[in-house]
């Protein structure tokens, strides 16, 4: 996706292709995290002695990475939403003026707190074995940061999906937005057939990527990832939150003089 060419960014086919590609990244990131046990201590606030920080070790690592990445202007890119937007420094590299694609520009719809919550409390316990491996606390936390970032990018892509839908159905959407009809907007952005395709594709990907294709036959082919947990994560969290982002985006979509 080329953010310097707005017309490519609001093409629903292009957007869906990017979402499909992101599935690969997300499944592989989960496979990487599943190599390690749950590591409860990295999610427990106060478990490590971190000065000037009240959260958990994983949250601290995420914030530290975001501080470095902000300096190389990661969060100026329209598809990157930080977990710690209030703690970030100005970029060192000169600003890039992206042409406005979303409204308002820049767009700050942010559901990262919910993403962090479901990932830590619902997904990690399902994809990782019980237990703690003290020598891999850092590696596991790095995997968590990758998982969280890829989930966040996917879910916040809902803003581009919503903009594409708004542009093709402006009159209908405008009337729903004006009457703050959340259920109507939710129905308008929902495409059950596409959701079914997403879940079926994800199942195939998790089943396929979960097994090393070079392993010799016959032997028990244990998957490297809990396929059901991956599919249910999309069904219960990723798709619903993408839709929440879409609706939230649309509720704020009208130019001030029209709202």
Ligand X SMILES: O=C(O)C(=O)C[C@]1(C(=O)O)C=C[C@@H](O)C=C1
Task: Give the interface with ligand X as residue ranges (CB under 6 A).
Answer: 16, 19, 161, 189-191, 194-195, 198, 239, 242-243, 246
Nearer to ligand X, 44 or 196 (CB): 196
* Catalytic residue selected from 191, 201, 207, 244: 191
Nearer to ligand X, 14 or 133 (CB): 14
Choice between 19 and 120, CB closer to ligand X: 19
Active site residue 59: no
* Residue nearest ligand X by beta-carbon distance: 242
CA distance 75 to 36: 29
Q: Is 242 a catalytic residue?
A: yes
Q: Which is nearer to ligand X, 33 or 243 (CB)?
A: 243
- Smallest gap from Cβ 27 to ligand X, in A, equals 15
Catalytic: 135?
no
DSSP 201-257: HHHHHHHHHTS-TTSPSSS----SS-HHHHHHHIIIIIHHHHHHHHHHHHHT-S-TT
Which three-class secondary structure state does DSSP give residue 78? coil
Q: Which residue has the tokens 């590591």?
A: 39
**Segment (H or E) for 52:** none
Is 243 in the active site?
no
* 3-state secondary structure at position 88: coil
Active-site residue identified among 153, 165, 205, 253: 165
Please pick, among 38, 116, 154, 205, the residue that the annotation labels catalytic: 154
In angstroms, give the least distance from the CB of 74 to ligand X: 23
CB of 242 to ligand X, least distance (A): 4
Looking up tokens 């097994």, which residue turns up? 211
- Tell me if residue 214 is catalytic: no
Of 44, 227, 203, which Cα lies nearest the Cα of 126? 227
Q: Closest distance between ligand X and the C-beta of residue 206, in Å?
A: 16
Alpha-carbon distance of 235 to 195, in angstroms, equals 8
In whole angstroms, the minimum distance from the beta carbon of 175 to ligand X comes to: 20
Angle 67-70-73 (CA atoms, 0-180°, nearest 5)? 165
C-alpha–C-alpha distance, residues 79 and 106, integer Å: 10
Q: Given the complex with ligand X, which of 129 and 187 has the nearer CB atom?
A: 187
- Catalytic residue, chosen from 16, 35, 71, 201, is 16
Q: Known catalytic residue: 116?
A: no
Active site residue 29: no
- Active-site residue numbers? 16, 154, 165, 191, 195, 242, 246
């Amino acid at each position: 996706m080329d953010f310097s060419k707005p017309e490519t960014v609001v093409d629903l086919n292009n957007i869906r292709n990017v979402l499909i590609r992101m599935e690969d990244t997300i499944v592989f990131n989960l496979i990487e995290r599943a190599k390690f046990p749950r590591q409860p201590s990295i999610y427990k606030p106060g478990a490590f002695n971190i000065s000037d920080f009240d959260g958990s070790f994983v949250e601290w690592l995420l914030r530290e990475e975001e501080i470095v990445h902000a300096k190389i202007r990661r969060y100026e890119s329209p598809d990157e939403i930080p977990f710690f937007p209030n703690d970030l420094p100005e970029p060192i590299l000169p600003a890039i003026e992206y042409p406005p694609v979303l409204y308002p520009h820049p767009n700050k719809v942010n559901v990262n707190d919910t993403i962090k919550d479901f990932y830590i409390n619902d997904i990690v316990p399902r994809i990782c074995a019980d237990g703690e491996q003290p020598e891999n606390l850092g590696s596991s936390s790095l995997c968590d940061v990758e998982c969280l970032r890829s989930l966040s990018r996917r879910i916040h892509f809902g803003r581009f999906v919503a903009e594409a839908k708004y542009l093709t159905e402006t009159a209908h959407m405008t009337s729903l937005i004006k009457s703050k009809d959340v259920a109507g907007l939710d129905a308008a952005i929902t495409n059950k057939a596409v959701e079914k395709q997403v879940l079926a594709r994800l199942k195939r990907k998790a089943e396929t990527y979960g097994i090393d294709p070079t392993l010799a036959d016959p032997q028990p082919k244990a998957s490297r990832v809990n396929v059901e947990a991956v599919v249910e994560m999309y069904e219960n969290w990723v798709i619903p939150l993408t839709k929440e982002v879409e609706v939230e985006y649309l509720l704020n979509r009208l130019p001030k003089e029209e709202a």
